[in-house]
Structure 1
Amino acid sequence: MKKIIVLVLDGFGIGAMDDVSVVRPQDIGSNTALHILKETHVHLPNLEKLGLINAMGTTTGSMKPSDTANFGSSKLAHYGGDTFFGHQEIMGTKPKKPFKMPFNEVIDIVEMNLKNKGYPTKRITKDNVSLLSIYDEVYIGDNLETDLGQVYNVTTSFDYVNFQDVKKIARIVRDSVEVARVIVFGGANVTKEDLVNAIETKNETYIGVNAPKSKVYIQKYEVEHLGYGVDHTTQIQTILYDQKLSKTAFVGKVADICANENGDSYSIVPTGEVLTKTIELIRNDKHGFICSNVQETDLAGHSENTQLYASKLLVVDEYIPQIINLLDENDVLIIMADHGNDPTVGHSKHTRENVPLLVYKKGIQGINIGNRDTLADVGATVADFFGIKKVNFGTSFLGKLLSN
């Protein structure tokens, strides 16, 4: 079976986008890859051979451009720099601009829609702001761990409510609001007291359950992300199955954030395990499209730790030959990112950066696929590769790759 593998190095940007001075001035000067290479002097021979320096457009240290690489770069079409929306974009979704607002501004409409569906709600107020509770078992409010006002959480304990039932509540919330994400999650061995005691406020404007404090992450944690304007039925993984009965495999964080009803998803965090699973899936030859996300690079960026980031890149670099050795002339490997996360820029959040596109296909060398306008060009290329209906957004670069 011919296959295409997309390996996403989460948060591995190659330079701030041109619009950051207007939309994200805190990201001016960011360049995740360049600053890690400069600060740590790490050498990544396999990423070098695949064209990392070519894509960056800047030589640094011992790493040089490659004459044999197929490479390019991509802008972000989604707003900001976000793992969830970055991956939806990769799958072929045209991002819609979400609104930013505290949960208190939409609590009335959410409460009305929940009551209309038969859910009895009550308000819990603290510091003059309120969230919603259903039976003291499900809590709906602001996400306090990400950019405030962009995400709402639906938090529960599976000791009282099963995941399928709480997802029904979350979909009502999703249909009621226009923020970027509604995240529904829970864990086991979490009491009602654990949930209520974890309610916190920020800036007297935002209120929610502090997820780590609530203990939901500790046992049997499950999560689903519901994005604004995201229809997975128009994404490549769904179209590929509908038209070719070809299954998709998601490995790593992508398994948590992209729907894959007809495929197989593996939620894994350690980098070595993500890549080992990817190799196993290539060998098993049951999936036409494999997308794997290396999350630990992004976590190192959030920690503002260049040495930790470099160590994760070294793990990736060591596994690349094992992946390439399993591919034949029919297969394609794309290594890319979803946004930046520069540990040196002065804050611990994602950075809005261009990302690399490093493409390997046996027998094809020296092709520059250019600076793409959207990550969705990858999803469009996957569709083109399999000869199926194109996704709604994005332009394939397969023809350019095969032009020689």
Structure 2
Amino acid sequence: MSRAVIVVLDGFGVGAMPDADAHRPGDAAADTLGHLLDHHRAATGHRLPLPTLEALGLGFVHPHPGLSRRPSLPVAAGRAALGYPGADTYAGHQTMVGADFSRVAVARLAGHLDEVAAALRANGHNTDDLGGRPLLVVDGQILVHDNLEADPGVNWNVSGRLEDVSFTEVLRIARVVRSVAPVARVIAVGGHADAPLRTFVREGALGTVGLDTPASGFYRNGGLAVQHLGTPLDHARRLPELAAGAGVPVTLLGKAADVLACDAAVCRPAVDTTEVFALTLDALRGAPDTALIVSNVQETDLAGHQQDAPRYACVLQQADTGLSALLPLLSSPGDRLIVTGDHGNDPVIGHAFHTREYVPVLIHRPEATRPDRLPAARTLADVGATAAVALGLGATALDRGTPLPWPTAGSAGVPG
């Protein structure tokens, strides 16, 4: 019997992966946590207090002078590589629950225009370019283009102005694009724009071209319709469905409720960090002896996108307080609190995109007698596999992931 609670601090990286500069050379210096701690000390003259995260081993994972290196709780602490291309919340969460995203590509639409246009024409649609720019105008009304709000090449959008077409038609075209797209997500978007959509086409980062969705008025004019079409998944081999199929109650909270949508789960979306932890506490208090809860703290990621280090620090402190409230409710042998991330989002890197960083893996184990070091995980899928084992499920039933091994008796613990 075990209750496994996974808390995802969205956009919480602990240092650049070796290939972080593959698309943006400056990202080789990405370090969300380190830069956040440095910025806070420079701005305030004081270290950023994160007592719960330090007790869970954060300073061991990231040996920064602003963090204690001695965990005070019985934890196993380490870090994980992402295990999927790029740095994306959707791919990160799917990987974390055992889906195999290792073969998903980061690709600009420009490199696949002919293939996408051929698929659309085969389904009875007309396609044109827009003055030679690398995007498609379908049936004279709907744009197929790079997503300019996510990391370049991670997602493509299919956008339609609802004054001109129905969202049903936008979605129909998006499904055709999805059938040939190598990227993690094709996002169908319909909204009320201030002018024809071609008016708002602009160049993005790294040679992308697409619709400036915020400028179009979609977000402020009401009636926005969005549907995310992810790469095909075997949902039966994801952790939420695996747990639910074994009779384990599953609760998805915050952004996890949207990203990991599972028919068998209780799903409660929320953005406010305090609300996310209040929902997590309520779910934990009402949980039976065996349960899976996955919560996402989204406001860390939002602060990174806004390049707002003070806000990021404030949200991280709120999360630290929220984690401290969870720990007393996870005191039975076998219970697990797993704190991790899905990618980085360095708030001082100088751009508004995700950063490809390692993420922490901090696992509270009430039955342990000391803190221990975990080996580096090659993929976030190992987090899901570890939670599966804690719940008494077979990790091999997941599409991907290997349970993280606890240190053997007599091995060295976390140094002081």
In the TM superposition, 1:198-217 aligns within 5 A as 198-201=200-203, 206-217=208-219
Which of these residues, 306, 310, 317, is aligned with residue 307 of structure 1? 310
In the TM superposition, 1:122-137 aligns within 5 A as 122-123=127-128, 125-126=130-131, 128-134=133-139, 136=141
Alpha-carbon distance between aligned partners in 1 of 2:157 and 2:386, rounded to the nearest angstrom: 34
In the TM superposition, 1:55-204 aligns within 5 A as 55-56=61-62, 58-61=63-66, 63-70=68-75, 71-117=77-123, 120-123=125-128, 125-126=130-131, 128-134=133-139, 136=141, 138-156=142-160, 166-187=170-191, 190=192, 193=195, 195=197, 197-201=199-203
Q: Report SS of the residue matched to 2:79.
A: strand
Which of these residues, 231, 244, 247, is aligned with residue 246 of structure 2? 244
Q: Report SS of the residue matched to 2:329.
A: coil
**Structure 2 partner of 1:336:** 340
- Runs of 4+ residues over 6 Å off in structure 1: 158-165, 401-404
Report deviation, 1:111: 3.8
Report deviation, 1:402: 9.8
Unaligned runs of 5+ in 1: none
Which of these residues, 303, 319, 323, is aligned with residue 320 of structure 1? 323
Which 10-residue stretch deviates more, 107-116 or 173-182?
Answer: 107-116
Which of these residues, 284, 288, 291, is aligned with residue 291 of structure 2? 288
Instruction: Please say if 1:225 is aligned against 2:231.
Output: no
The AA in structure 2 aligned to 1:6 is I
Report deviation, 1:336: 0.7
The AA in structure 2 aligned to 1:9 is L
Alpha-carbon distance between aligned partners in 1 of 2:133 and 2:23, rounded to the nearest angstrom: 31
**Structure 1 partner of 2:401:** 394
Task: Assess if the C-alpha contact under 8 Å between 1:127 and 1:204 holds in 2.
Answer: no
Task: Assess if the C-alpha contact under 8 Å between 2:151 and 2:354 holds in 1.
Answer: no
Aligned residues: 397
Give % identity: 33
The AA in structure 2 aligned to 1:394 is G
Which 10-residue stretch deviates more, 108-117 or 146-155?
Answer: 108-117
Q: Report SS of the residue matched to 2:316.
A: helix
The AA in structure 2 aligned to 1:244 is A
**Structure 1 partner of 2:270:** 268
Report deviation, 1:199: 3.6
Alpha-carbon distance between aligned partners in 2 of 1:128 and 1:347, rounded to the nearest angstrom: 24
Report deviation, 1:197: 4.0
Q: Cα distance 1:325–1:349, how it changes in 2: closer, same or farther (>3 A)?
A: same
Task: Assess if the C-alpha contact under 8 Å between 1:44 and 1:63 holds in 2.
Answer: no
The AA in structure 1 aligned to 2:176 is I
1:294-321 deviation line (CA, Å, top 9, x unaligned): 1211222222222111101111111112
Task: Assess if the C-alpha contact under 8 Å between 2:2 and 2:390 holds in 1.
Answer: no
Alpha-carbon distance between aligned partners in 1 of 2:390 and 2:70, rounded to the nearest angstrom: 27
Alpha-carbon distance between aligned partners in 1 of 2:109 and 2:163, rounded to the nearest angstrom: 26
Q: Report SS of the residue matched to 2:376.
A: strand
Alpha-carbon distance between aligned partners in 2 of 1:161 and 1:222, rounded to the nearest angstrom: 12
Task: Assess if the C-alpha contact under 8 Å between 1:95 and 1:229 holds in 2.
Answer: no
Report deviation, 1:207: 4.1
Q: Report SS of the residue matched to 1:371.
A: coil
Instruction: Please say if 1:44 is aligned against 2:45.
Output: no
Q: Cα distance 1:2–1:147, how it changes in 2: closer, same or farther (>3 A)?
A: closer
Q: Report SS of the residue matched to 2:270.
A: coil
Q: Report SS of the residue matched to 1:388.
A: coil
Which 10-residue stretch deviates more, 19-28 or 170-179?
Answer: 19-28
CA RMSD for the aligned pairs? Answer: 3.2
The AA in structure 2 aligned to 1:305 is D
**Structure 2 partner of 1:12:** 12
1:178-228 deviation line (CA, Å, top 9, x unaligned): 1332122335xx259464543445599654332212333343545443344
Q: Cα distance 1:353–1:105, how it changes in 2: closer, same or farther (>3 A)?
A: closer
The AA in structure 1 aligned to 2:384 is G
**Structure 1 partner of 2:281:** 279
Alpha-carbon distance between aligned partners in 1 of 2:26 and 2:105, rounded to the nearest angstrom: 20
Task: Assess if the C-alpha contact under 8 Å between 2:152 and 2:205 holds in 1.
Answer: no
Report deviation, 1:130: 4.2
Report deviation, 1:43: 0.6
In the TM superposition, 1:26-41 aligns within 5 A as 26-40=26-40, 41=47
Alpha-carbon distance between aligned partners in 2 of 1:88 and 1:65, rounded to the nearest angstrom: 32
Q: Cα distance 1:35–1:232, how it changes in 2: closer, same or farther (>3 A)?
A: same
Q: Report SS of the residue matched to 1:76.
A: coil
